[in-house]
Every structure is written in structure tokens, then in C-alpha cells.
């Protein structure tokens, strides 16, 4: 079976003409995952708060509602998460021996991923499903999950621990 790789709609030449694993990898190890809404600096999470390389903990564009106070211009950055910084990798792999294709999305431990696999039951299988395509998808309560899932609608899940706060908030009045 021949598969060709297209990148943004364009055929992409490879040394191996029949790739069976393709993955987009995002640098979530060393690249900053937060950015300041006010000044635009990339931010690193530290024990003191969100810090930028050039301005440290203090935001040069901090704009308090009261600009007559002594602390004017001495506020903290306003962190927001950089788009797609939640993703470690997204991949596709094919397996001719198993007659299967798997799409993988990694958002937790980078060694693992949510896997969506379609496989075909062999035509000669002794089963009334012979020749049928079977979809395997992650589900809540799965043993050793990539991340916990909580269903909110059929086929729609919240990923991760719902008991932990999700949106970073700088401490009020912290300087
Ligand atoms: Zn800032």
C-alpha cells in the first residue's frame, strides 16, 4: 500500500517513500508556554510568579486602574497561555500487519498519547464482524489513561483533573 505525505496540501518528498509514522512535535520542554497579555513578553513560571527574560517579574506595560498610586507601573505580568502549548505531539502511524491506522494526540506525559485506532477485522475471520472496520477510542475510566477523561456529552470529554484550578491567576496586589 502506498501512502504519500502532504504538508499544507503540498506533496512532501521523503527519503523513505512509504512513511508509516509521521508526527508533529511541539517544543513544550524549553519553549515558554505563557505570554503576557499586556507587554507580550514570553513568560516562564517560577516559584515567585511569571517572569520574562528582559523584564523579570515586573510588567513594563502594567496598567492599574488608578495611575496616581505610588506603585504605578510596578505590577506583575498578566499571563495567558500560548496557543497550542498544551500539545506535545500529534501523529499518524500505519500498521499493515494489523491492518490499522492510529492517530495520536499527546497532551500529558509526552511519552504517551490519546490514541484513536481504526483496524479491520480480517475478511477470513471466524466472526460475523469479518471485514468490518473497528474504531478504538479513549474513554473515561480506561486503565492507565493518557489523562483522565470526564464526559460532558456523548463523545465530548473534559481532559484532566477537574479538582485542580486550570486558569493561572497572579496573586492580588503581589509585587
Ligand atoms: Zn507584561
Q: Cα(22) to centroid of ligand 1, in Å? A: 37
Cβ atoms of 146 and 108 closer than 8 Å: yes
Q: Cα(8) to centroid of ligand 1, in Å? A: 34
The secondary element (H helix, E strand) that includes residue 105 is: strand 100-106
Cβ atoms of 122 and 139 closer than 8 Å: no
pLDDT, tens digit, 9 for 90 and up, residues 68-120: 665 555 788 999 999 998 999 999 999 999 999 999 999 988 899 999 999 99
pLDDT, tens digit, 9 for 90 and up, residues 112-141: 999 999 999 999 999 999 999 999 999 999
Residues with CB under 5 A from ligand 1 (ion): 36, 38-39, 59, 77
Q: What is the pLDDT of residue 6?
A: 86
**Tally of CA atoms within 13 A in the half-sphere of 149 that contains its CB:** 20
pLDDT, tens digit, 9 for 90 and up, residues 49-63: 899 998 899 998 887
Which of 20-24, 36-40, 136-140, 169-173 shows the lowest per-residue confidence on average (mean pLDDT)?
169-173
Q: What is the mean pLDDT of the chain?
A: 86
C-alpha cell at 30: 524549553
Instruction: Give backbone dihedrals phi and psi of 56, rounded to 5 degrees, phi first.
Output: 60, -140
Cell 456529552 locates to 153
Domain range list for the chain: 5-27+86-159, 32-84
Amino acid at each position: 500500500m502506498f501512502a504519500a505525505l502532504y504538508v499544507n496540501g503540498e506533496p512532501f518528498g521523503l527519503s523513505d517513500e512509504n512513511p508509516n509514522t509521521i508526527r508533529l512535535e511541539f517544543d513544550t520542554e524549553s519553549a515558554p508556554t505563557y505570554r503576557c497579555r499586556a507587554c507580550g513578553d514570553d513568560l516562564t513560571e517560577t516559584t515567585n510568579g511569571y517572569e520574562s527574560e528582559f523584564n523579570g517579574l515586573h510588567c513594563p506595560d502594567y496598567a492599574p486602574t488608578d495611575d496616581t498610586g505610588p506603585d504605578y507601573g510596578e505590577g506583575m505580568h498578566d499571563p495567558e497561555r500560548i496557543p497550542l502549548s498544551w500539545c506535545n505531539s500529534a501523529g499518524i502511524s500505519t500498521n499493515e500487519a494489523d491492518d490499522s491506522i492510529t492517530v495520536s494526540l499527546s497532551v500529558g506525559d509526552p511519552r504517551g498519547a490519546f490514541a484513536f485506532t481504526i483496524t479491520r477485522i480480517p475478511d477470513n475471520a471466524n466472526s460475523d464482524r469479518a471485514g468490518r472496520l473497528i474504531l478504538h477510542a479513549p474513554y473515561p475510566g480506561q486503565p492507565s489513561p493518557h489523562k483522565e477523561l470526564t464526559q460532558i456529552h456523548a463523545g465530548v470529554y473534559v481532559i484532566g483533573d477537574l479538582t485542580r484550578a486550570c486558569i493561572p491567576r497572579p496573586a492580588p496586589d503581589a509585587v
